[in-house]
A and B are shown apart, each in its own frame.
Chain A
Amino acid sequence: MRAEAPAAETGVAQLTMVQAINQALDQALAADPRVLVFGEDVGVMGGVFRATDGLQARHGAERVYDTPLAESGIVGYAVGLALAGMRPVAEVQFAGFLYPALDQVLSHVGRYRHRTRGRFTTPLVVRAAYGGGVHTPEQHADSPEALLAHAPGVKVVVPSSPARAKGLLLAAIDDPDPVFFLEAIKLYRSTREDVPAEPYRLELGRARVVREGDALTLVAYGGMVEVCLQAAAVAAREGVELEVVDVETLVPFDEATVLGSVRKTGRAVVVHEAARTAGFGAEIAARIAEGAFFDLLAPVARVTGWDAPYPPFTSVEHHYRPDAARVLAAVREALLA
């Protein structure tokens, strides 16, 4: 069963991030017969966020399909498909539902290439929606990127915009290593941007400076990049130019870009919405301390979720997730140091 052909792959269109992801999956399925897209409710329904909308109709139920409701099974099954030469792209509805699969992630996904000395590899992608800000039910707003980043052998990518999401996802699907692709729920439909219609790939493992400045470096990824850009816009009105670095790929981490920026500005504030202790910000701060200590004019600061589970209490939820005001408070302190 095939629906109408996809639109011509030329020009640009204003897309939300979920549309850009849908387009990337569509183009990956069209380009490579090894690509399979599966997970809970991804088939007929098109995914709880509609990221796979229309894909089963276009590419068939053999390549886009529902699985039983079992995350460890989904990831373990994806490992098997990858071992046998397929390019599985699994969807886990919410990153907070990934926990049953952590045994597979820690025991196998990141370990297979290493333990078999390259004989067997697991080029798979697991997409999962992460983060808060939209009043989701309990356990739907977790940010477990540090758990994944602590598993050697996996790559962790967190896109911050529609156009970046498309190019990074296509690169992740092509990548010879397993990639966890975390999509900020807050970004799914909140903004649109010009997304080129043709397939394109953005290199994994590269951070990028998304706003230049000289006073201080804000380091963020995913849903926090827009928060940092908001903070930078406010600071600019006061004549303070903040540089914003979008990490984009947590593992492998692009230390050179982050350190280059911090050496220039002398100050750094690291921002993420996951809890503070042992969050990925600790890793970034440590690398800045190791690599740019003598260029620092102020201690590296972190603006993060609090050391508590993400609150299911929606009326106070916004106090958990960092916003521009909290980022600016940390910026002020660093500038006064």
Chain B
Amino acid sequence: MTATVRYVAEDGRALRELPLAREDLVRGYRAMRRARHFDERAVTLQRQGRLGVYPLFRGQEAAQVGASLALEPHDWLVPTYRESAAAITHGLPLETALLYWRSHPAGWSFPEHVRVLPFYVPIATQLPHAVGVAHAGSLRGEGWVVLAFVGDGGTSEGDAHEALNFAAVFSAPVVFLVQNNGWAISVPTERQMRNTVIADRAAGYGMPGVRVDGNDLVAVWDVVRQAVARARAGEGPTLVEAVTYRLAPHTTSDDPGRYRDESAAGERERAEPLARMRALLAGMGAWSDEYEEALLADLRAEFDAAVAAADAAPEPAPESIVEHVYAGMQPDQRRAWEALREG
């Protein structure tokens, strides 16, 4: 069975020499705190009716942020719907993310310079796309690596298998990052698969598989960094399983009390990634309550500005429904466009 890579204990003790410089550890914590702030504020907006259904990632910040920090700006990130943390860490503007979760068209057109594919709603269908983007990069000598996300439940899909196999056969520069958060909505991992060590599957594809403590930012960052370096060197894909826990409901519409015992939540909360990282930094003298307050003030201001910008986006016109179906507007879309415009 695959061992789990871990650098930092749940109480914040370093278990061995850390592979990251102090300023990177601080940068990583700040990015996680920024993501957590986004998640908390997004839920508030949703409760106020100012956001649509929103899939929370609370508890998965280390897995998403750590993996994203291992990328260069020209690398691609391929998210599922739960990867808001990964996406904003890799450069997606907060305003765009908010507009996306508000289901505003401006939230779907990610800025040109941001190498993030749009959030994927169908499960695991993004993974063959990730392989294609990766292979295109190696054919053209672009030097980019693709970080593709999927969940434990998503690995049950045929596309997950096909993508892993294609990537291995083509030696494509992809890192598959499986966040094993314990739950596919209501179905626990042990009902999803017989062998719950997803990294074990890598051997079947002829690629390295690494299991990492997904609540340990340092471990995720380092493991993915090595996998990215391997891909960039032309040595092919890696399957990384980040073991984490979905502390929150599946989405703002979900009630986990219907399917899991929430009374044990305290233990899960103790293992959550931000507290661990903050304890590590505090122990090194690299973080304090004052730093935390100053950071939170910055994050609040940043988020407030993003909300204001999102609020200022003009309402889409009804005829926009039939725009961008084809490169040029075809006769059927033209007819519909005119009908919608007339109202």
Binds B, one of A17-25, A109-117, A297-305: A109-117
User: Residue B131 at the A interface, CB < 8 A?
Assistant: yes
User: Residue A121 at the B interface, CB < 8 A?
Assistant: yes
Distance in angstroms from B329 CB to nearest chain A CB is 10
Chain A hits for B106, CB < 8 A: 117
A116/B139 in contact, CB under 8 A: no
Which residues from chain A sit less than 8 Å from chain B, CB to CB? 36, 62, 67-68, 70, 72-73, 75-86, 88, 100, 103-104, 107-108, 113-121, 152-153, 155, 175-177, 205, 252-253, 255-256
Binds A, one of B38-46, B190-198, B319-327: B319-327
Q: List 14 A-B contacts (CB under 8 A).
A: A62-B139, A68-B165, A70-B166, A73-B159, A80-B129, A80-B133, A80-B134, A83-B132, A86-B139, A88-B132, A103-B122, A115-B108, A152-B325, A253-B331
B159/A153 in contact, CB under 8 A: no
Chain A hits for B332, CB < 8 A: 252-253
Q: Indicate which residue in B129, B326, B328 contacts A79 across the interface (CB closer than 8 Å).
A: B129
Distance in angstroms from B144 CB to nearest chain A CB is 9
Chain B hits for A80, CB < 8 A: 128-136
Q: Indicate which residue in B112, B127, B134, B323 contacts A76 across the interface (CB closer than 8 Å).
A: B127
User: Residue B233 at the A interface, CB < 8 A?
Assistant: no
A77/B324 in contact, CB under 8 A: no
A62-B139, A68-B166, A72-B158 known; A114 vs B131 contact (CB < 8 Å) = no
Q: Report the separation of the CA atoms of residues A179 and B136 in the bound assembly, to the nearest whole angstrom.
A: 20
A117/B166 in contact, CB under 8 A: no
A72-B158, A119-B110 known; A78 vs B117 contact (CB < 8 Å) = no
Chain A hits for B112, CB < 8 A: 119
Q: Indicate which residue in A68, A103, A114 contacts B159 across the interface (CB closer than 8 Å).
A: A103
A83/B324 in contact, CB under 8 A: no
B327/A77 in contact, CB under 8 A: no
Which residues from chain B sit less than 8 Å from chain A, CB to CB? 105-106, 108-110, 112, 117-118, 122, 125, 127-137, 139-140, 142, 158-159, 162-163, 165-166, 169, 323-328, 330-332
Q: Indicate which residue in B129, B131, B135, B169 contacts A108 across the interface (CB closer than 8 Å).
A: B129
A252/B109 in contact, CB under 8 A: no
B331/A113 in contact, CB under 8 A: no
B128/A177 in contact, CB under 8 A: no
A120-B118, A252-B332 known; A84 vs B136 contact (CB < 8 Å) = yes
A72/B110 in contact, CB under 8 A: no
Closest 3 CB pairs of A and B: A80-B132, A76-B128, A73-B162
Chain A hits for B127, CB < 8 A: 76
Q: Indicate which residue in A100, A103, A116, A176 contacts B108 across the interface (CB closer than 8 Å).
A: A116
Distance in angstroms from A126 CB to nearest chain B CB is 13
Q: Report the separation of the CA atoms of residues A228 and B118 in the bound assembly, to the nearest whole angstrom.
A: 46
B132/A81 in contact, CB under 8 A: yes
B163/A76 in contact, CB under 8 A: yes
B125/A117 in contact, CB under 8 A: no
Chain A hits for B118, CB < 8 A: 115-116, 119-120
Candidate in B109, B117, B125, B324 with the most chain A CB atoms within 10 angstroms: B324
Chain B residue nearest in CB terms to A107:
B122
B169/A68 in contact, CB under 8 A: yes
Q: Report the separation of the CA atoms of residues A159 and B125 in the bound assembly, to the nearest whole angstrom.
A: 30
B159/A76 in contact, CB under 8 A: yes
Q: Indicate which residue in A77, A115, A252 contacts B135 across the interface (CB closer than 8 Å).
A: A77
Q: Report the separation of the CA atoms of residues A81 and B135 in the bound assembly, to the nearest whole angstrom.
A: 7
Q: Other than A83-B117, A113-B327, give 13 A-B pairs with Cβ distance below 8 A.
A: A73-B165, A80-B133, A84-B132, A85-B140, A104-B128, A107-B122, A115-B118, A116-B324, A117-B105, A117-B323, A119-B109, A153-B326, A177-B326
